[in-house]
Every structure is written in structure tokens, then in C-alpha cells.
Amino acid sequence: MIPKFVNEDRTSQVGGPIQLSTIFEIEGKSLAILTDTINNKTILSDVPSVLGEEAGLLLRGQSAEPGKQIDLDTRTRVEGYGVFTFPYGPVTSGISEAGGFKFVTYGERVIKVIPMINFKKRGIESRVVGMNPSDALLLVERSAGNFSASYSTCFATAVEDALGMEVPQSAKWTRAVAMELERIYNHLHVFSRESEAATQNVATYQTSSLKERVLRLNSKYFGHRYLFGLNKIGGVSYLLSSAEQRGDLFRSISSICKEFSELVDYFLSSRIFLDRLQNTARLTKEDALGLGAVGPVARGSGIDWDDRATFPIEPYGDIFVNIEKEDGSDTMARIMVRIKEIATSTTVLQELLDKMPSDQLSTTQTSQNHSRFNPDFAFCRVESPSGDLIQALKLDEAMKIKTLHIRPASLANWLSFSKSLEGNVFTDFQFAFESFGLTYADSDR
């Protein structure tokens, strides 16, 4: 069942505004999901006949064995007097997960960067095969813990579409509330990390404190700081059922947003902070399009794409979401996108909480929906804090997972990050890395 905002086009080619988002296999047939960034359309296609090497690199992690290092190397040769390569990671300060880079340089200036991923791959896509969707959800939502609401909402939506399941509106709106809370605390985390890189210690702790307050709101209203267990197939485990409860939540978030905006005003008046971010790690719009950049990275390079507007699962088709973008294409632009999105998410939360439907929790089980079972595959894409998250799946006749494919946002952005660092000095690395919001857990699913 193909949504109205998806085109089926068997002849599409990749290039310019048409990005290759992912390739997946269903029963021996390879399909591609393309992104039309001009017409704001998702295109479901046969695999385009011409693919660049860069596109192939993004897919190398799909079938790789867990723990086997993958170098996202474009194979461009770099030669010259004094040029050498040194590894940074997979265990090093400044990177909180197992992963690393190979820097090609002749001294301080970076010529080329090769990301190294897959050190902590868990094989989620293969492990869930044969599982009941409800059991598989527990693994999927933990693929990247700080994106739990995005992962679980994407998976649950795809499963529900495959089953033709009716899901209460209140559950869908509650999922959106959780995803906006998740967006806010992740953007606060990125800003805190940028502050730390700039040795702005007081601001680092202040921003971290604001993030902690959002996590405590998650726990208070949804039972878990990182929103584990919120979603289930056919509904949610918690509802914001009373107007008083919803009002209290919004007032708390509004207060956090106000304090953050005051903190941002201080930062934007700090010449030291601005000097480290402006003109650092530039990613042109052309390069962002060519490398398939997503999320705040793409929007920081002037690309007007956000799944909440372009692939609007309910309730995003019923509310207004202002798409924040910047044309600066540098670290400052990516940070400004995140700053603005915190305010936008606060506005979105107000609308979600004010208009929350009052229907009840679903008690329908997947086994009761055989008559509406879709024998074809289903897919969903949602805007995670770091950008476009895609999941495609197929169920077998016993309603168990037959195939699952996950294309995380971080995996899509590694090559863009590498490109942005070319020509920068090594001390720019931390500022660039944090502005991209990359996580190894996200790509090493």
C-alpha cells in the first residue's frame, strides 16, 4: 500500500536533486528509495542503472559481519611529498563510541578523511528475522538508544501498515510528542558538545542540565528517560490523557526552551565561540545533494527536506511544521538549524498537546488482523534528530518478520562529514564532528 506522497518510477536516475536514499531487497528483488528534493517526493524505484561509488559505500554495512571494520573510502588517490595517513580511534578521547577515522595529511591540514565503522555492529536486521513484531520492536528501539522514539515509531508504523491495522489517533499523536521531545534533548546534547569543544565549560554544564530536565520529563510522562517501551504494535503504553497533564508538560518544555534561548544569546555574542564555528567544515549544497546528506546537515546546506513535511505520517500531515534551514553550509549553519529546531519543536509540541485526540488505547493484537494482511512489503521514513530514518520490512504468513532493512541517518552522513573536513585543520575536527550529530550506534545497527 503506497502512500500518496510516494511516486513509483521505474526509470529514475540518481543525480542533481534526486538522491539515492537506500537500496533494499525483498524476496530476491532489489528496490531503491530515492529522494526528490525539488518536488518533495519519495520515489520507489528499481535500482538505478548508474550509481556512483559513493552511493555504493553507504550500503556496505548492510551485509558486513559484526565487528568487521569497514572503511568508507572513496578510493581517490592522495599523493605528494610528506603526505601520510594516521588512524584516530577506534578508542580515543573525543569520540564516545567505538569508531574512528583515517586522516590523510601532510601536517596540520587535512587532505582526506576515511571513516571507520562497524566495530560494534549488532546485526539487528538479521536477528529479528522470524520474530513476532512485538518482540522485534524491543531490539529495534534499542538500535540507537538516543533515537529510540524515532526507531520504534518507524518500525511500528511499517508493521501496522503491513497488517492493515487501525491505530488510535491518540497513539499516533503521542508518538509525535515523544519524537519532538527526543529531538529537543538530542539537539541540546549536540549544543553542549560544541560548547565543550570550545572550552565554554559553564555553558556546557548549563545546556547539559537542560537536557537532563527533558530526560526527566520523558521518564515522568512516558516511563523511561530514553523513551524505551513507549511504543507497541497497534498503540502506545502511555497516553497524555488529561488536559492538566498536557499543560504541565508544555509549560515545562516552554521553560526549558526559554532558558536555552537566553543561553544562545550569550553564545552568539561570544567572538571566541563564533570564530571556531564560522567557515569551519563547509559542505556546499551541491556536495550535500551529491553525497545524500540528510537532517540538520542537509538543511544547514540549504536543502529544504524534512520527513515531517515530505513523508508526513500521522499526525504531521495535520499540523504545521516550519522547516528550518540555513545557507551558510558550515558548522555554524548546522548548529543554527538545531537551535531553531528546538524552538520549532516547542511550537509543534504546543499544537500536538492542544489538539490531542481523546480516543482510547488499542488492545487489538496482530493475530486478529489476518484479513487485512498486506502480502507485499511496507516501509516508513521518519525525521530522527539526526535526519531521515528509513525502515522497510516484509512479514510472512505467520505474521513474523521475514525481512527488515534499516537505513539510519548517521550512515547517510558519514561521507558528507568527510567531505566537509577536507582542507580544514585537525583542531577543527571536534567542532565538525559534533555539528553532524553522528553516532556509531546509529550506523552500526
Q: pLDDT digit string (tens) for 140-182? A: 999 888 899 999 999 999 999 999 899 999 999 999 999 999 9
Residue 428 lies in a domain: yes
Mark whether 364 and 269 lie in a shared domain: yes
Closest CA to 405 of 23, 122, 70, 67: 23
Residue 98 and residue 193 in one domain: no
- pLDDT tens, residue by residue, 103-130: 888 877 888 888 888 888 888 888 999 9
Q: Same domain, yes or no, for 134 and 104?
A: no
- Same domain? For 76 and 45 the reply is no
Phi, psi values for residue 406, rounded to 5°: -125, 125
Residue 363 lies in a domain: yes
Structural domain boundaries, residue 12: 6-58
pLDDT tens digit sequence for 401-434: 999 999 999 888 988 998 998 888 888 888 888 8
Same domain, 130 and 177: yes
- pLDDT of the residue at 365: 41
Q: C-alpha cell of 47? A: 535500482
End-to-end CA distance of the chain: 27
Q: Rounded to an integer, what distance in angstroms lies between the CA atom of residue 261 and that of residue 367? A: 48
Confidence class for position 52, pLDDT limits 50, 70, 90: low
Please write the tens of the pLDDT for every residue from 333-375.
999 999 999 999 999 999 999 999 887 544 444 434 433 445 5
pLDDT recorded at residue 374 = 54
Q: Report the candidate in 113, 115, 249, 277 with the shortest Cα–Cα distance to residue 191.
A: 277
Residue 64 counted as domain residue: no
- Confirm whether 276 is domain-assigned: yes
Widest CA span in the chain:
70
Which residues are 31's β-sheet partners? Answer: 24, 46
User: Same domain, yes or no, for 106 and 204?
Assistant: no
The β-bridge partners of 392 are: 379, 405
Say whether both 282 and 331 belong to one domain: yes
Q: Answer whether residue 65 is part of any domain.
A: no
Determine contact, residues 361/168, Cβ cutoff 8 Å: yes
For residue 325, is it within any domain? yes
Summarize pLDDT for 184-197 with one digit per residue, the tens: 999 999 988 888 88
Whether residues 191 and 287 share a domain: the answer is yes
The Cα 117–Cα 70 span in angstroms is: 5
Neighbours of 10 (CB within 10 A): 8
Residues 193 and 277: beta-carbon distance below 8 Å: no
Check if the beta carbon of residue 416 is closer than 8 Å to that of residue 293.
yes
pLDDT at 58 over 60: no
Short-list 420, 432, 182, 388, CA closest to 295: 388
Segment holding 263, helix H or strand E: helix 243-267
Same domain (yes/no): 34, 169: no
Distances, alpha carbon 33 to alpha carbons 42, 113, 383, 390, in Å: 7, 27, 15, 9
Contact predicate 306/321, CB 8 Å? yes
Task: Indicate if 319 and 274 belong to the same structural domain.
Answer: yes
Confidence of residue 10 (pLDDT cuts 50, 70, 90): low
153 and 37 together in one domain: no
**What is residue 47's DSSP assignment?**
P
- Asked if 44 and 3 touch (Cβ cutoff 8 Å), the reply is no
185 and 46 belong to one structural domain: no
Q: How confident is the model at residue 79 (pLDDT cuts 50, 70, 90)?
A: low
The CATH code of the domain that includes 231 is: 1.10.645.10
What pLDDT is recorded for position 133? 94
The answer to whether position 63 is within a domain reads no
Stated pTM of the model: 0.91
Torsion of CA 232, 230, 387, 254, to 10 degrees: 150
| CA nearest to 408, candidates 430, 431, 432, 392 | 392
How far apart, in Å, are the Cα atoms of 124 and each of 120, 142, 281, 370? 11, 9, 32, 26
Indicate whether 217 belongs to any domain.
yes
Q: How many domains does the chain have?
A: 3
